């Protein structure tokens, strides 16, 4: 039973990562119509998926994640969870750190 569950999870995980890899390859290597199609069809899906995940990890009024919170860590100082911080780091901080690099790379 455990082997079946692990195998199913592995297959789901691989399928998801394959899909994400395909999207990145199409965005990086595809022609302009392909990139435009990705922006209009896949980007909204990605944003919806990310918003759904972030909804589960949004800090409550005490700054704690209701999904990741556990009794063991409840006495620690309140802070957003790793999932929330990682999304913020990847999407906002990384972009702010290299706004021109992204633009030049996209244009070149
Ligand atoms: Zn969380």
pLDDT digits (tens, 9 = 90+) for 39-88: 999 999 999 999 999 999 998 888 888 888 765 555 555 678 989 999 98
Mean model confidence pLDDT for the chain: 83
Return d(Cα 85, Cα 91) in angstroms, integer.
10
* Gap between the Cα atoms of 54 and 85, Å rounded: 10
Contact yes or no for 81/67 (Cβ under 8 A): yes
With contact defined as beta carbons under 8 Å apart, do 78 and 64 qualify?
yes
CA distance linking residue 108 with residue 45, whole number of Å: 26
For ligand 1, the distance from its centroid to the CA atom of residue 12, given in whole angstroms, is 21
Ligand 1: distance of its center to the CA of 39 in Å? 28
Ligand 1: distance of its center to the CA of 84 in Å? 6
- Ligand 1 centroid vs 59 CA: distance in angstroms? 8
Backbone angles phi, psi at 77, to 5 degrees: -60, 140
The pLDDT assigned to 51 comes to 95
């Amino acid at each position: 039973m455990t082997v079946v569950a692990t195998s199913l999870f592995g297959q789901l995980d691989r399928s998801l990562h394959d899909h994400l890899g395909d999207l990145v390859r199409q965005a990086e290597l595809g022609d302009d119509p392909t990139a435009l199609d990705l922006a209009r069809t896949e980007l909204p899906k990605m944003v919806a998926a990310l918003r759904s995940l972030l909804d589960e990890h949004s800090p409550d009024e005490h700054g704690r994640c209701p999904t990741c919170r556990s009794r063991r860590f409840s006495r620690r100082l309140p802070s957003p969870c790793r999932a929330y911080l990682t999304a913020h780091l990847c999407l906002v901080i990384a972009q702010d750190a290299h706004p021109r690099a992204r633009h030049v790379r996209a244009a070149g």
